[in-house]
Amino acid sequence: MANRESFAILGLGKFGMALTMELVKAKQDVLVVDANESVIDDISHFVTRAVIADATDEEELKDLQIGTFDHVYVTLGEHVAASIMATMIAKELGAPDVSARANSENHGKVLRKIGADHVIAPERDLARQLVFRHLHPNVVNYVHITSQITLAELTVDNPAYFNKTLGDLNFRRRFHVNVIAIADDKDHLNQVPQANDIIGPHTRITVIGQSADIQKVNNILSPKN
């Protein structure tokens, strides 16, 4: 079970509401803030605390001790000025981890400039995930750490790579990616793989590296018929 942490959600549009319900399912401590009384009434019995307040009002956010939360999500993306103000206030109040939703590249640039730790663009991110999944169906799981760096779990389906050691395959030198975990067909996970560990048929390996390099490795390990 995940550690219990504290989250503040500023804004309860569709994205903010979906995010809130996922955190509730994960049994996290959740404060939600929105100026709409009916929305707060609807969500209040699910969350730790629900408050009718203006997320752009510094005094109100100070009273809510926003700076003490482990994570703050500013989900006011459709209201550009409000999201910028709420993000700036949350950082000024000492919030250590602020994620803000952006509705355009320029909006995202401003949010980063004023201190947002993470900028979220749900539609863009979903589109990127769908395209990546269709183009690379053998990639089991992946996370885009940055626009260039990806962590991905790949399945080794190419017989030329069966029953060889990591040292033999030398992924770092040949493909410029690092293997950080190996899982066999029984889901036994080796989190500290060594050079003499053997890659069996259809083994899953977790690699980290440049997105383009990982795509090349995936095409080699799981060639299309």
Domain boundaries, the chain: 6-120, 125-221
- Whole-model pTM? 0.63
Q: What is the pLDDT of residues 123-179, one digit of tens each?
A: 766 666 666 666 655 565 666 666 678 888 888 999 999 999 999 999 999 999 999
DSSP H stretches of helix in 77-185: 80-92, 105-113, 122-135, 166-169, 171-175
Give the residue with greater pLDDT, 40 vs 219: 40
Higher-pLDDT residue of 103, 47: 47
pLDDT greater than 80 at residue 104: yes
pLDDT band of residue 1 (cuts 50, 70, 90) is very low
45 pLDDT band, cuts 50/70/90, is: very high
Give 211 or 146, the one with higher predicted confidence.
211
Fold annotation for 6-120 = Rossmann fold (3.40.50)
The share of the chain scoring above pLDDT 90, in percent, equals 60
Q: Which two tokens stand for residue 52?
A: 């009718």
pLDDT-derived band at 87 (thresholds 50, 70, 90) equals: very high
**Of 168, 178, 138, nearest in space to 155 by CA:** 138
**Dihedral Cα 48, 49, 55, 60, nearest 10 deg:** -130
CATH number of 125-221: 3.30.70.1450
